[in-house]
Amino acid sequence: MKRREFLTSSLAASTLAFANQAQSQTPAAGAREYYQLRKYHMQTGPQTKLTDSYVADALIPALNRLGIAPVGAFHLDLGPETPTLYVLMPSSNLETLVNLELRLAEDEAFMKAAEPFWSAPATAPAFIRTESTLLSAFPGHPKLTPPPSAAQHGKRVFQLRTYESPSFADHVRKVEMFHKGEFEIFQKAGFDQVFYGDTLIGPRMPNLTYMLSYPELSDLTEKWKLFSSDPAWKKLSSDPRYAFEQIVSNISNLILSPAPYSQI
């Protein structure tokens, strides 16, 4: 009974604190972005070239015309199911992302440029399958932030991390942890923080996804050492509100490289 009462009071306190934090950190109503993260699963060979050409020459220009920018395109370097191309689409307008396929079909320039991809025969498809996840930006990080080197298409690598939680109560607490200090600890350790998103529609919920960037892959280990040894992290992670049970049950950890045409 005592454990049940603790869980109930903890969830109530966590939810209230997170709501208060969201109100204080969101600049204005509707200011937070939404993200569609799309994965194109392919086979090695002609599929990869066709899909790259489609995203570079048809999809990204059309998305930009709809006000969706900057658009990220990333190849999976370390992780399961390669080759896979990830496309990250940010928008302050949720309706634009929800109706994206209908809007694209109305764009004559897009349809012309996309024709080889869209009309690929069943015997030589452009991809195996696609998957999409819809996310809402965290109140404490409401806008996508490309790394500084993205503007000059400089060298950079990305880490895409997804945290699954065993319950919605634990998920709320994990999101709260970011707003209670993790953003600042990441910044202090020198990470480039690209985006943080709470999954609204997608597989294996409840979960959250965030993206970090590094000038070199070798920087990853060093920055995580700084993060894990920071006294602020040790204090936060040992707080009874978050440490009474495992609030993250599974972590997906992927290393991505930007496609030459990526805007992030």
The CATH number that applies at residue 98 is: 3.30.70.100
Identify the pLDDT of residue 152: 87
**Same-domain status, 131 and 150:** no
Identify the pLDDT of residue 153: 85
Identify the pLDDT of residue 93: 95
* 157 belongs to a structural domain: yes
**Same-domain status, 143 and 250:** yes
**Same-domain status, 85 and 163:** no
Identify the pLDDT of residue 224: 98
For residue 106, give the amino acid letter.
E
**Same-domain status, 145 and 104:** no
Q: How far apart are CA 54 and CA 62, in angstroms?
A: 11
For residue 115, give the amino acid letter.
E
Among 135, 163, 192, the domain boundary falls at 135
Residue ranges in the chain whose pLDDT is less than 50 = 1-29
**Same-domain status, 117 and 142:** no
Residue 136 structure tokens: 């809402």
* 21 belongs to a structural domain: no
Identify the pLDDT of residue 97: 96
* 215 belongs to a structural domain: yes
Q: How far apart are CA 139 and CA 141, in angstroms?
A: 6
* 27 belongs to a structural domain: no
Identify the pLDDT of residue 36: 98
* 202 belongs to a structural domain: yes
User: Domain tally for the chain?
Assistant: 2
Owner of token pair 């109305």 = 106
Identify the pLDDT of residue 212: 98
Domain with 128, as residue range(s), is: 34-135
Q: What is the pTM of this model?
A: 0.88
